[in-house]
Amino acid sequence: MRFQRYLTTRRSLPMGHSAPPTGEENCDQAFFRLGGGPVEFETDKAGGLERISVQGRLKPIVYEPKQPIKAIVNSQGKDWKSYELYRANKSMERYSCLQAFEIHFERFLTRDIGEEFRPCSPVLYRKEFAVQTESRCVLKQEILGGRSVMTPPGVAGKQALWAYGGYYQPGCGLEEIEQIVFTPMRDHDKTGLHLSRLSSWHTKDHDIVWINPLESGQKLSVLGDIEQGSATFDWFQGSDEKGDSCSVPYRSFAVYQRDRLSDLVEIEFYKEKI
């Protein structure tokens, strides 16, 4: 099967990457893999394509705790009535409790890669969100210098943030799909909850106590994560003289959401230099 380079003007390749020389035709057997086993096909393009476009389908994965998880405000040694997290009767919480977010392979958009070639694993991209697994999230209300301060036990004068899960609503943009954090709060004689998206916090890190420290990738939205190369796949080019597998790695650098009401997106990959 003959492949033609399909380049658009949507976004330039990352600095330092350029189109490879085509060289002489080479009809070696090749393998294509996206997160799973290889799919076999032939290519006459030595070294693989410089750029490949793939269509993917959005797959939000809702967090379903195995047992009730509760937040409790403790004030002067007294526990106020607890608040149950991830309750399905509140619209924002119903959509703000993703455990993970995936993009599944749908089809190739680059010309001359036939639709009969599909990966063994459908998962093209997966983002894990931090969630609560403990049965008690305790926040203390203390009196410091004559004023009431909400703080984790043993830590004074800091803003405490707990991880809640991933934010998602049908029709939202990829830049909105991100980590949600919360702080328990006193609501009269019971415990309440303040939910917010991570990007809404502009407080410096030294003013925050992260009850659940986040990895660097978890601080990015799905859009930012993919633009920084978190979606990847390998294009296998057969074996070398020693019998070792030879592959060309591809990494994402752009994603396009043409219609927010659709669950389909387009991801652009560039061939990494080895």
The one-digit pLDDT tens for each residue of the chain (274 residues) are: 222 222 333 445 555 554 443 333 333 334 445 443 333 333 444 556 888 999 999 999 999 888 888 888 887 778 889 888 887 545 455 455 899 999 999 988 987 775 555 665 788 899 999 999 877 777 776 655 555 556 665 566 677 888 999 999 889 999 999 999 988 888 888 888 888 899 888 666 657 778 888 998 899 999 999 999 999 877 766 777 777 777 778 899 999 999 999 999 999 999 888 6
Please say whether the beta carbons of 60 and 129 come within 8 A: no
Task: Give me the phi and psi of 272, to 5 degrees please.
Answer: -75, 150
Within 13 Å, how many C-alpha atoms sit on residue 252's CB side? Answer: 26
Residues 6 or more apart in contact with residue 112 via CB below 8 angstroms: 1, 2, 3, 4, 6
Give, in degrees to the nearest 5, the angle at Cα 67 between 64 and 71.
95
Instruction: Report residue 178 as tokens.
Output: 């991100």
The pTM (predicted TM-score) of the whole model is 0.75
Confidence at residue 141, expressed as pLDDT on a 0 to 100 scale: 65
CA distances from 46 to 17, 220, 236 (A): 17, 36, 12
Q: Which of 25, 51, 58 is nearest to 235 (CA)?
A: 51
Alpha helices in 22-75 (DSSP H): none
Confidence at residue 87, expressed as pLDDT on a 0 to 100 scale: 76
d(CA 142, CA 154): 10
Beta bridge partners of 256: 266
Confidence at residue 183, expressed as pLDDT on a 0 to 100 scale: 84
